[in-house]
């Protein structure tokens, strides 16, 4: 079992929340994670990387937005983490120069690049999530969000980035998603954020809502395919069969028109440019991902394939 000498959590945080460390290791992303017992239930204690999440009022306001949404989402019974208010009635605190938060633990294994379940099952789960969020009062936009419609303005500046931003703006306008009904989306619905269990690896829950914000729901399909639509880690293409499986699963739960299906590659492209915009906004110099270049050339063909898939579902 981890402890302070083995990279465990700050014992003062454990004491403050009345938490007991449990044996479990997690893959670390933008935070360090530990499984803990919290008032009779299992929870995940997260220490956010101060280099990415400064322990200041802006970060706390952003986490408050997220925790408020997840608390409301609980009423829908969708399988997602729930904030645990173990720290004097709150689920997120600043301690020793870092932000700490506590969320319920979900059973299951990260799908990642496993061959099962098929992406169709993941798409169906995303459809269920959007059905759930449609019934949750939509809050104001998340403080740190960068909606797709704002990406072109952020990319204004150096010629290559400005041209990409203008191209995204043009494609968004042509596809028409900017006028769609908005709700809270997951923002990173990839196979690495979906849990599954059982012999057939049935999807059981969704984790890491760290990029959740208010957006056109169908954008979540494209955002998920930015990573999970690739045939393997490191690939710089979208596999049409994987994308069609994902859209078919989603369309089996929520109605998707052929026009909306054609817009999915725009959202995939938008996801790549959105990440570039966030880096630029943070003062970094972003590189152009190879997948962005592939999408600029191949989006029309992919769009027709997805539209054909939706047509077959009629």
Distance CA 171, CA 161 (A): 15
Nearest 10 degrees: CA dihedral of 36, 42, 47, 53? Answer: -170
How many CB atoms neighbour CB 244 within 10 A?
22
User: Which among 198, 221, 220, 202 is positioned nearest to 211, based on CA atoms?
Assistant: 220
Look at the block and give the residue holding tokens 């004097």: 88
**Least trusted range by pLDDT, from 145-149, 166-170, 178-182:** 178-182
- Structure tokens belonging to residue 64: 């408050």
Quote the percentage of the chain above a pLDDT of 90. Answer: 87
For residue range 228-263, list pLDDT tens digits in order.
999 999 999 999 999 999 999 999 999 999 999 999
In order of start, what are the domains of the chain with their CATH numbers?
Answer: 4-104 (3.30.200.20), 109-312 (3.90.1200.10)
User: Which among 263, 254, 191 is positioned nearest to 222, based on CA atoms?
Assistant: 263
In the predicted model, what is the mean pLDDT of residues 162-190? 89
Look at the block and give the residue holding tokens 């303005």: 153
Q: For residues 46 and 31, is the Cβ–Cβ distance under 8 A?
A: yes
**DSSP states of 116-152 as a string?**
-S-HHHHHHHHHHHHHHHHTS---SPPTT---GGGHH
Q: Which pTM was predicted?
A: 0.93
For residue range 128-165, list pLDDT tens digits in order.
999 999 989 877 999 999 999 999 999 998 788 999 99
């Amino acid at each position: 079992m981890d402890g302070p000498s083995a990279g465990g959590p700050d014992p003062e945080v454990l004491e403050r929340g009345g938490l007991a460390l449990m044996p479990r290791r997690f893959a670390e992303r933008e935070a360090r994670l530990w499984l803990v017992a919290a008032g009779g239930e299992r929870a995940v204690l997260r220490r956010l990387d101060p280099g990415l999440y400064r322990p200041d009022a802006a970060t706390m306001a952003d986490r408050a937005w997220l925790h408020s949404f997840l608390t409301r989402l609980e009423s829908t019974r969708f399988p997602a983490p729930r904030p645990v208010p173990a720290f004097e009635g709150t689920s997120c605190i600043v301690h020793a120069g870092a932000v700490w938060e506590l969320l319920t633990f979900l059973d299951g294994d990260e799908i990642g690049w496993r061959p099962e379940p098929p992406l169709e099952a993941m798409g169906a789960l995303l459809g269920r999530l959007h059905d759930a969020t449609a019934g949750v009062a939509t809050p104001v936009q998340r403080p740190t969000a960068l909606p797709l419609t704002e990406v072109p303005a952020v990319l204004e500046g150096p010629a290559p980035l400005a041209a990409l931003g203008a191209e995204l703006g043009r494609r968004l306008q042509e596809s028409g998603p900017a006028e769609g009904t908005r709700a809270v989306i997951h923002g990173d619905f990839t196979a690495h954020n979906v849990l599954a269990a059982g012999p057939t690896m049935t999807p059981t829950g969704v984790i890491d809502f760290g990029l959740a914000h208010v957006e056109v729901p169908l954008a979540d399909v494209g955002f998920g395919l930015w990573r999970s639509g690739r045939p393997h880690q490191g690939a710089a293409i979208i596999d049409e069969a994987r994308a069609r499986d994902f859209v078919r699963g989603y369309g089996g739960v929520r109605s998707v028109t052929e026009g909306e299906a054609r817009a999915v590659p725009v959202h995939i492209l938008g996801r790549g440019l959105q990440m570039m915009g966030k880096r630029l906004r943070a003062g970094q110099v972003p590189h152009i991902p190879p997948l962005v270049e592939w999408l600029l050339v191949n989006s029309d063909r992919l769009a027709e394939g997805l539209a054909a898939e939706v047509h077959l579902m009629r």
